């Protein structure tokens, strides 16, 4: 490869090369005075004041040096390298991006510190309009943000649908479907660990009379009230579900029949003692009946076996006068 001499290179590439049709906006600043001593035609098109002396006034219509100016930084590096007898070849450049409010455009700017033989220092600036790239980048970011937002919205919608599929709409308790799903997991744990697992079946005594006497909206208030009491009087690890109408079920992991009976009787007593004020004209007292049984890990195949026995105990409680707890024997 033929190497060009400096004189040959100067013939091919000179400052005039970049003067008329260059994509680069070029300026030269005398660092002893910060006077703008040269601007090519592209730079002149974006200058705030072509006739201004100081570079900050000419370029950006400012009254003092630009906060983002790299001149002093490059001078300090140059002086330090000179003191240490190091070359400035790799340290006399700085590149950054800047939004020019006068031109309303983004520029990528490279500045170079050059020192003449007489010691005068000049800052040569090359600015390339990157507004289109910035706009494309901004659109890409916006698209990404919108996609993220849609993804989050879809996930929220999915979670909401999942919640609705597992939740009773009136009481916000779990529904029978979720109860069946989670009970199988708890059955597997009980079988693996040999731990206790009990169930409580319950419903509201003479609920039809409440609906007939006060209306279905009041009946709904009673159901919601009972649901809240069940959550309040059970543990976080217990599964409380509305099976439908006035019928509820509670699944109690790591709880034997005696413990389940105590929980059931506590709930029964709280319900019996409370007075539910529906509105200023209606106050209701109601009772519940409950049946208790346990899941037998040696003989039961699924939770329905224990639920059926607990349901039989529930009807024993009702046939014995209601407002009581019965254990299937």
Q: Catalytic residue positions?
A: 246
What sign does the CA torsion over 81, 85, 89, 90 have? negative
Torsion of CA 71, 76, 81, 83, to 10 degrees: 140
A 10 A CB-CB count for 258 gives: 13
Taking the C-alpha atoms of residue 206 and residue 327, their distance in angstroms, rounded to an integer, is 21
* Cα dihedral across residues 272, 273, 279, 283: positive or negative: positive
Beta carbons of 328 and 310 less than 8 angstroms apart: yes
User: Which candidate, 129, 4, 126, places its Cα nearest to that of 70?
Assistant: 126
What phi and psi values does residue 173 have, to the nearest 5 degrees? Answer: -75, 170
- What is the distance between the alpha carbons of residues 290 and 218, in angstroms, rounded to a whole number? 22
How far is it, in rounded angstroms, from Cα 163 to Cα 328?
33
Please state, in angstroms and as integers, the Cα–Cα distance from residue 267 to each residue in 183, 189, 202, 323, following that order: 21, 26, 10, 11
């Amino acid at each position: 490869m033929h190497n060009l001499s400096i004189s040959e290179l100067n013939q091919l590439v000179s400052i005039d090369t970049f003067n008329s049709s260059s994509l680069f906006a070029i300026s030269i600043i005398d660092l002893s005075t910060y006077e703008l001593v040269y601007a090519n035609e592209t730079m002149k098109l974006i200058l705030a004041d072509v006739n201004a002396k100081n570079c900050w006034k000419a370029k950006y219509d400012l009254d003092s040096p630009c906060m983002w100016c790299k001149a002093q930084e490059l001078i300090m590096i140059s002086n330090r390298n000179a003191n240490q007898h190091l070359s400035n070849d790799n340290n006399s450049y700085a590149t950054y991006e800047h939004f020019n409010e006068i031109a309303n455009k983004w520029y990528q700017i490279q500045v170079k510190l050059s020192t003449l033989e007489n010691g005068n220092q000049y800052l040569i600036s090359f600015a390339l309009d990157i507004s289109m790239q910035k706009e494309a980048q901004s659109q890409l970011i916006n698209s990404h943000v919108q996609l993220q937002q849609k993804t989050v919205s879809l996930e929220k919608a999915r979670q909401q649908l999942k919640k609705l599929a597992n939740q009773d709409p009136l009481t916000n308790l779990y529904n029978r479907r979720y109860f069946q799903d989670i009970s199988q997991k708890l059955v597997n744990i009980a079988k693996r660990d040999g731990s206790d697992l009990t169930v409580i079946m319950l419903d509201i005594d003479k609920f039809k009379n409440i609906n007939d006497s006060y209306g279905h909206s009041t009946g709904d208030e009673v159901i919601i009230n009972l649901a809240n009491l069940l959550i309040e009087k059970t543990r976080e690890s217990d599964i409380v579900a509305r099976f439908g109408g006035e019928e509820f079920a509670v699944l109690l992991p790591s709880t034997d029949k005696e413990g389940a009976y105590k929980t059931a009787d506590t709930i029964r007593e709280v319900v019996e003692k409370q007075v539910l004020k529906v509105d200023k004209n209606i106050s209701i007292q109601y009772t519940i009946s409950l049946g208790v049984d346990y899941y037998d890990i040696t003989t039961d195949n699924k939770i329905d076996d224990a639920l059926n026995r607990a349901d039989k105990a529930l009807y024993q409680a009702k046939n014995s006068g209601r407002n009581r707890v019965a254990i299937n024997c």
